[in-house]
Amino acid sequence: MKSFKGYLQEAPKWTESLSTMLFDLRASGIKDAMIPLSPSILKRIWPKAPRTTAFHLTDYAGIKKLKGLQGGKRSISSFFNITARAIDDGVATEGGYVIELLGDILVAAPDDISSQPDKTGRRWITLSTLLNPIDTNYGGDGIGGGAKLKGMENDISEMMIEIIMKYADDPGKSGMPNVNKSWIALGKEYKREGKILSQ
């Protein structure tokens, strides 16, 4: 049985270490690169964040945690509409409590953007979610940043190549010139050897 202190120290749902998130490119390669949901990045798409009311679904224990976040800069998943079943069953918690929030909207989409928190609480989305169109009727599953962030995919690819060339024990052996394979191999190499990337 988990102690009360164990519940207090429980990490947010679906968290991974930042290094795992950054080096796990999954099936779409660079399009699956993780991008932080931070004001500095999102201001490139939307210069002025709208301030509005949204709602957050939580359970009883989550209410106290939310109160502690008041006035801070941490991001919170929220919504404008949701099904009654989701309220009853919860999403990342037991659910049952809908909290009205007033704050700056970092990003909005007609559907869940599947943001994922790291262990510090910063939320991340894939590059494809950032760049893809919003219109879900025509196959868009993103937040519409593609037109304003032209070249970002190439910039990320070039950055990855620089890091691979600098830090991989043997860049040729790790799969170069395939950036995706080399990036994943570098992550595995550093995890296996317990190394840390530094300047």
What is the structure's pLDDT at 138?
54
- Is residue 23 located within the same domain as residue 72? no
Split at pLDDT 50, 70, 90, the class of 49 is confident
Number of domains the chain is built from: 2
Q: What is the pLDDT of residue 3?
A: 56
Identify the pLDDT of residue 158: 92
Same domain, residue pair 183 and 167: yes
Mean local confidence (pLDDT), 49-74: 83
Based on the domain organization, do 86 and 132 belong to the same domain? no
How far from 153 is each of 1, 27, 86, 110, 164, CA to CA, in Å?
Answer: 46, 16, 35, 24, 16
Q: Is the pLDDT of residue 8 over 60?
A: no
Q: Which residues contact 116 (CB under 8 A, 6 or more apart)?
A: 14, 15, 16, 21, 34, 123, 124, 125
With a cut of 60, say whether residue 50 has pLDDT above it. Answer: yes
* Same structural domain, 60 and 81: yes
Q: Is the pLDDT of residue 116 over 80?
A: yes
Percent of the chain with pLDDT over 70: 78
In a domain, 113, yes or no: no
The half-sphere exposure of 7 on its side-chain side, counting CA atoms within 13 A, is: 9
User: Residue 84: pLDDT above 70?
Assistant: yes
**CA 118/CA 101 separation, integer angstroms:** 22
Residue 199: pLDDT band (50, 70, 90) is very low
Evaluate if residue 175 carries a pLDDT over 80: no
